Structure 1
Amino acid sequence: MHFLLRTLIVFVVGVLLSLALLILQIERNVALFPPGVLSDLSSIPWWVPISCGAGAATIGLSLPKMDEWFQRKYDYHHDQVEWVGVLRCVGIFVGITYASTLAYNSVIAKFSVSLSLMAIGQWWLFDRSVSGFVLGVAVSFTATAVTQIIVHYGIFSFSKPDFLSIRSWLPGVFFSATIAIGSLGRQLAQVTFHLSVYQFQ
């Protein structure tokens, strides 16, 4: 599969997922925007899904490259996940994100730990690679820091923040998203490899 097509597919998936989850969080009063931002469909903050789409494309393209690097450097191999596994992995990410909107403030710390453990369980079930774990942790820290900066400048905020102006479950959600999008990127890269071999033959 052509590089640009892979990029477009992962970007579109990232945009659609983030848009759906953004609307869910707004309806649940988890993410708050300044008055008038969501007065109608045209006023939806489109920079959010576009940024998430760009991030998804970066993750989906980076993880296969990291796999190749780890394989060359440490002779490390991981089991390839089939399309059914990719869909299940994405479904678990959606479930984790949906569950994050249901957390009660009184137990949010325990809930955040549970979500983080679920995200690690997702990695164990569908990935188990060093590259996937390293990228997941890196994205979790980076995306959480960027979110804190955005909240600091008042672009949007969280209702009842419990950890440095944000929700403490956020790193776990970012980790889960990395595993889900990374598995999609891996599978698309695998399709590219098989097509290249077929054309060569």
Structure 2
Amino acid sequence: MPKLLNSAFWLPVACGLASWMVGTLFPLLDVYRAQDPRPRQRHQDWSTVLRCLGAFIGLNYAALTMPWHDAPVVSISLSGMSIMQWLLFDLTLHGLVLATVSAACGTGMGWVLVRYGLYAFTEADFFGVRSWFPAIMWSGSLSLGCLAR
């Protein structure tokens, strides 16, 4: 709780707005995709949503507990787990594109915040940002999309 209170007041609000935007875009793109005559993906039920959220929580836990002696290896492992999450729970082209754009924009915004001294990671290893950050952003956007559907 003390770490949350040490954060800037606008950071949780900005993250919440970004999450709302990503969560809104997934169903909108599904509706747009529904106009395509090709076959649709399988039906989403609550057990699938909970498994997807569990995968996201597991990825966060792995990012916290993995030994960081070799950051590129751990980052590649986390990226592989994120891709497996897409393969298991989404399998849509627009989900892949939206997750990639979310990870790129989120990491870019994180870098900008670090660059201008508005935020700091405790153990930054990739241009001031933790190297697991893109994988977490990617996985988080897929989880939000699964929940929003």
TM-score using structure 2 length: 0.89
- Native 8 Å contact 1:105 1:160 kept in 2: no
Change (3 A) 1:156 1:135: same
User: Counterpart of 2:85?
Assistant: 122
Greater Cα offset, 78-87 or 141-150? 78-87
- Give secondary structure in 2 for the equivalent of 1:168: coil
Moved over 6 A (4+): none
| Partner of residue 163 from structure 1, selected from 123, 126, 137 | 126
Question: Aligned residues, how many?
Answer: 149
User: Counterpart of 1:28?
Assistant: none
Answering whether residue 87 of structure 2 is matched by residue 102 of structure 1, we say: no
Correspondences of 1:6-45 after superposition (within 5 Å): 38=2, 43-45=6-8
For structure 1, list consecutive stretches of 5 or more residues without a partner in the other structure. Answer: 1-22, 24-37, 187-201
Distance 1:153 1:60 in 2: 28
| Greater Cα radius of gyration, structure 1 or 2 | 1
TM-score using structure 1 length: 0.68
Distance 2:30 2:42 in 1: 11
Distance 1:59 1:163 in 2: 25
The Cα of 1:73 is off from its aligned counterpart by: 4.5
The percent of aligned pairs where both chains have the same amino acid is 32
Aligned AA for 1:136? A
Change (3 A) 1:68 1:49: same
For structure 2, list consecutive stretches of 5 or more residues without a partner in the other structure. Answer: none
- Native 8 Å contact 1:70 1:76 kept in 2: no
User: Counterpart of 1:174?
Assistant: 137
Answering whether residue 132 of structure 2 is matched by residue 183 of structure 1, we say: no
| Partner of residue 59 from structure 1, selected from 8, 12, 22 | 22
Q: CA RMSD in A?
A: 2.0
- Native 8 Å contact 2:68 2:74 kept in 1: no
